[in-house]
Structure 1
């Protein structure tokens, strides 16, 4: 009996194009990422822009109907745009289904009084302007984690470094994870490695990076990557469904994010945006189903992390000054939900 090599995933149109003499060159094994999530998986899924309990209920209903496996659900308007009751309801609903809930921290430059963010250059973008906005982001983090949230979305490198230190000191729960926003995502390997060292546990990169860029990043860092398979219009509106298998091969460990192009912006969310928010929430789930169906047709759907997986595994960090004295603790009454 002879050993037979298991065939890999097929490429789109591979057989028909080969018949015509237009077959693609073989994959270069050196391009494949050697990294994985600690559970052994190479990819997970995320539904972004789920802006409150009603949108979450809509997503969960559609996820069940379309049988879409989901590891993480994220929100973009910010913790400060949700009441304690709304956060608690979202935590309970996702916990019951073993899905990670990720909420965005605090005030940002794009909503501030500073005019530079309205100029063509974009100014400081979503970063926290001044001490007060940094403090608001930290306050959001303390409040959300006290209510049971264990994943925080961050759009400022200073805020990320401070939150990572608070996690190390036990002020934030040790199993809190930090997700770097797509709007400040790195575009080169060195920058990606810096975000990891600042405390990032999964790092969005812009969806216009090439496949070669992913390989370059993976040679510098094994931190989980977040990638919009379909990007919102303000991130370029790219639709890269046919790249999904190669994104996994080169970018693992990677979160496949199912965004939506040609849809109105909904941040910061309020009831005036209710109808479009619920409609787009349903369509994001459908887009996810399309991507996973495509992967299955090509035999490239293997290697998904088990549902319920959320931690990133060991990562590289900048050293923290051990002489620093923590200003609080998990038992400090100021950090309980009743006092926040």
Structure 2
């Protein structure tokens, strides 16, 4: 692990603004998160939307070329959109490099027979509709973990609680981690704490939360936070690279996710989207390099967790009912 800096990061443009007498807001040390990952790091990295072995190979090649450290790879189409052989290949490739592989459970709201998600209100969003959808997510979780996947992405509170109960009962490996999707991500400290207690090991929050919102969350929970430094267009297209150092200071422990705005959607992925998937995979890694370069220029690149780290630490949970 790189040791955290003993001084505050240099703030963008501060010296030049001071020189012309332009006032800058004073940082409040009480805003800083008191939490870290168990290894002492304050941040890790994630490359999202890696939809299969070929896209994964592209990410691994590009991350080596650009020297972008990767702690986690995540996929958005779902376990059910991959063959056993494809999942096994991805598991082995990530294991060789100490990278956590996270696959999405499904089915979910936009990919079933419900029409409400296609209305202006968005209906119930990505949640699992009915018993059969819940059971499908369970089936995905069992299949993925049997093939060696150690992290599962969920987009439904009931699915999360069910999978956590299975983990507690030994039906899923105890080392399995659960990541909450940005599509149902909590937007206030109370809901963040509820997701943690339902079994979440990291929580993707919407990228439009203010810096004060991150401080509020950190006053009630130490569960790792996932954040798109650049968000896809369907999540707002926000770009927060210049805030990366302050986001870490406020939100640690935090996964910096390198998404991509102004690019077409690729879910659910198939061969018809191959060139787009590979091109966007390469560019996500490049965006990661840009964000890391900014951190380095501001003296804020210390504090990264060691590569291979995936432990979220001891988190708070609701009691699991006896007999489960």
TM-score (norm 1): 0.93
Q: In the alignment, which residue of structure 1 is the partner of 2:162?
A: 162
Residue 35 of structure 1 is matched in structure 2 by: 35
1:7 is matched with which residue?
7
Q: Which residue of 2 aligns with 1:135?
A: 135
Paired residue for 2:181? 181
Is structure 2 residue 49 aligned with structure 1 residue 49?
yes
2:296 is the alignment partner of 1:296: yes
Tell me, what secondary structure is at the counterpart of 2:167?
helix
CA distance in 2, matches of 1:253, 1:7: 18
| Consecutive unaligned residues in structure 2, runs of 5 or more | none
Partner of 1:191: 191
3-state DSSP of counterpart to 1:257: strand
Deviations 1:221-278 (A, max 9, x none): 1100000000000000000000100000000000000000000000000000000000
Partner Cα separation in structure 2 for residue 176 and residue 7 of structure 1: 36
Cα separation, 2, equivalents of 1:306 and 1:312: 13
SS in 2 for 1:193: helix
- The equivalent of 1:248 in structure 2 is 248
- The superposition leaves residues 285-336 of structure 1 with CA deviations (integer Å, 9 ceiling, x where unpaired) of 0000000000000001110000000010000000011233xxxxxxxxxxxx
1-side partners of 2:265 and 2:45: how far apart?
Answer: 22
SS of the residue 2:212 aligns to: helix
**TM-aligned CA deviation for residue 86 of structure 1:** 0.1
| Aligned residues of 1:14 and 1:23 also touching (Cα < 8 A) | no
Q: Deviations over 1:192-239 (max 9, x none)?
A: 000000000000000000000000011111100000000000000000
Gaps of 5+ in 1: 325-340
Q: Which residue of 2 aligns with 1:81?
A: 81
TM-score, normalised with respect to structure 2: 0.98
Once the 2 structures are TM-superposed, how far is the Cα of residue 118 of structure 1 from its aligned partner?
0.5
* Higher relative contact order, structure no. (Cα contacts within 8 Å, ≥ 6 residues apart): 2
**Structure-1 separation of matches of 2:135 and 2:39:** 35
Q: State the partner residue of 2:268.
A: 268
* CA offsets 1:97-144 (integer angstroms, 9 cap, x no match): 000000000101111111111100000110000000000000000000
Radius of gyration: which is bigger?
1
Larger mean CA deviation between 130-139 and 107-116 belongs to 107-116
Instruction: Provide the rounded CA distance (Å) in 1 between the counterparts of 2:323 and 2:86.
Output: 38
* Structure 1 ranges of 4+ moved more than 4 A: none
RMSD: 0.9
Query: Structure 1 residue 6: deviation in Å?
Result: 4.9
State the shift of 1:21 in Å. 1.1
Q: Does structure 2 conserve the Cα–Cα contact (< 8 Å) formed by 1:205 and 1:225?
A: yes
